[in-house]
């Protein structure tokens, strides 16, 4: 009977993981279309990506506070110190704010499909910054994979009919911000040794991101909103949009907590294909060409090779860590450093 329960547990965990992944893909795809509609729709008339992102972070901060401190439905994990907050949470929050702001701004200039194609260069940015931070090691194989991804994105860009370089710059800035956030997250978990549950991460990160967005919003978008009198926005639509964003951010942390950052990248690839294909149906500004699809397919092939390489590397690292711990009952300083690197 115990064996039967033991065999059921992995199946149940696997089903739960797939549910989290499907939830992430659905929420992420839907949120991209929702943001595009809010920012570009004449009915909503809210072309302020910085203000929209700030609203998301304020909503998330308030909701996390209510859930944890007022209603006390959820609990914030202990262990956060001023040193960890200043060296880890603030950089993560700042990069999170940068990613969302620049990524949403790009939708004002380029199509949703083309924005997703440009996001395929994410592993290149993550790897380059990882090498600079000492988290990755340069090799010929990785250099080849990065070249394939970059070539695919270039081909996809060449096939874009209505390319807008301002939008490209904004989107690539968002890619760099997301890559830096992932690097800081890895340092936060691996070197600081503190693992927070999803609601705790949102509780600490959201207020920091909101503050990082507030200053540029005051100088860049608030004067435009005052001049055009668009403060009378539709509260129901923007509240629903903020709730969807909160659910999406929570699902990202849930997937990472129950699987790995690698899995979220694989799920992100699936989501990007869904967004590219659906956006061609939903939005008039999306016109896909064969060159677009061909270049994106090349880039995705490179991303798949990158994910496969990382998966094997993590498996090898885990195996070597287990072997070293079993052969040495008392861990030495060198073995601890090796396991944390």
pLDDT band for position 99 (50/70/90)? very high
CA distances from 96 to 1, 44, 206, 262 (A): 47, 25, 9, 18
Does the pLDDT of residue 82 top 60, yes or no? Answer: yes
Closest CA to 101 of 44, 45, 171: 171
H or E stretch at 25: helix 2-40
pLDDT band for position 163 (50/70/90)? confident
Q: Which residue has the tokens 């506070």?
A: 65
Q: Residues near 188 by Cβ (< 8 Å), separated by ≥ 6?
A: 84, 88, 89, 92, 194
Q: Is 81 helix (H, G, I), strand (E, B) or coil?
A: coil
74: tokens are 């959820």
Tell me, what's the pLDDT at 232? 59
Q: Residues near 45 by Cβ (< 8 Å), separated by ≥ 6?
A: 230, 233
Does the pLDDT of residue 49 top 80, yes or no? Answer: yes
Upper half-sphere CA count for residue 16 (Cβ side, 13 Å): 11
**d(Cα 127, Cα 28) in Å, to the nearest integer?**
23
Tell me, what's the pLDDT at 204? 93
**Max CA separation in the chain (angstroms):** 71
**d(Cα 220, Cα 53) in Å, to the nearest integer?**
13
CA trace torsion 273, 276, 281, 284 (10° rounding) = 180
Helices (H), 66-191: 82-84, 90-106, 112-119, 122-133, 140-158, 165-190
User: pLDDT tens digits for 15-37?
Assistant: 877 888 888 889 999 999 999 99
**Residues shown for the chain:** 341
Total-model pTM: 0.80
Q: What is the CA radius of gyration of the chain?
A: 21
**d(Cα 93, Cα 208) in Å, to the nearest integer?**
5
Tell me, what's the pLDDT at 337? 32
Residue 290 · residue 167 · CB < 8 Å: no
Tell me, what's the pLDDT at 50? 94
**d(Cα 221, Cα 101) in Å, to the nearest integer?**
12
Read off the pLDDT of each residue in 223-240 and give the average, rounded to a whole number.
Answer: 80
Upper half-sphere CA count for residue 110 (Cβ side, 13 Å): 28
Does the pLDDT of residue 341 top 50, yes or no? Answer: no
User: pLDDT tens digits for 251-305?
Assistant: 877 777 677 666 776 777 788 888 988 888 888 777 888 898 999 999 989 988 8
Read off the pLDDT of each residue in 2-11 and give the average, rounded to a whole number.
Answer: 56
**d(Cα 245, Cα 233) in Å, to the nearest integer?**
18
**d(Cα 242, Cα 235) in Å, to the nearest integer?**
10
Q: Which residue has the tokens 């149940």?
A: 12
pLDDT band for position 338 (50/70/90)? very low
Give first-to-last CA distance, the chain, whole Å: 41
**d(Cα 294, Cα 58) in Å, to the nearest integer?**
40
- Dihedrals phi, psi of 108, to nearest 5 degrees: -75, -15
Which of 20-29, 41-50, 163-172, 319-328 has the weakest average pLDDT?
319-328
**d(Cα 312, Cα 324) in Å, to the nearest integer?**
18
Q: Is 43 helix (H, G, I), strand (E, B) or coil?
A: coil
């Amino acid at each position: 009977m115990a064996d039967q329960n033991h065999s059921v547990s992995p199946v149940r965990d696997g089903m739960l993981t797939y549910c989290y992944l499907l939830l992430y893909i659905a929420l992420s795809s839907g949120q991209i279309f929702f943001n595009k509609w809010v920012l570009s729709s004449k009915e909503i008339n809210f072309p302020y990506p910085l203000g929209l992102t700030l609203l998301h972070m304020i909503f998330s901060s308030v909701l996390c506070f209510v859930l944890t401190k007022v209603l006390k439905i959820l609990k914030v994990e202990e262990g956060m110190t001023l040193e960890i907050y200043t060296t880890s949470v603030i950089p993560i929050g700042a990069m999170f704010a940068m990613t969302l702001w620049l990524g949403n701004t790009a939708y004002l200039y380029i199509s949703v499909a083309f924005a997703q194609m440009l996001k395929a260069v994410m592993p290149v940015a993550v790897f380059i910054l990882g090498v600079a931070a000492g988290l990755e090691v340069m090799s010929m194989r990785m250099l080849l994979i990065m070249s394939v991804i970059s070539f695919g994105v270039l081909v996809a860009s060449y096939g874009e009919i209505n390319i807008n370089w301002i939008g490209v710059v904004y989107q690539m800035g968002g890619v760099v911000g997301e890559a830096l956030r992932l690097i800081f997250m890895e340092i936060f978990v691996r070197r600081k040794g503190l693992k927070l549950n999803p609601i705790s991460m949102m509780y600490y990160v959201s207020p920091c991101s909101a503050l990082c967005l507030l200053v540029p919003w005051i100088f860049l978008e608030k004067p435009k909103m005052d001049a055009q009198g668009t403060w009378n926005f539709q509260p129901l639509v923007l509240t629903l949009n903020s709730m969807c964003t909160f659910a999406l951010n929570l699902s990202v942390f849930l997937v990472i907590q129950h699987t790995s950052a690698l899995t979220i990248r694989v799920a992100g690839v699936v989501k990007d294909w869904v967004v590219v294909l659906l956006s061609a149906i939903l939005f008039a500004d999306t016109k896909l060409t064969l060159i677009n699809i061909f270049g994106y397919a090349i880039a995705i092939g490179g991303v798949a090779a990158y994910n496969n390489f990382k998966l094997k590397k993590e498996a090898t690292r885990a195996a070597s860590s287990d072997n070293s711990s079993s052969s040495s009952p008392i861990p030495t300083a060198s073995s601890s450093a090796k396991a944390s690197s």
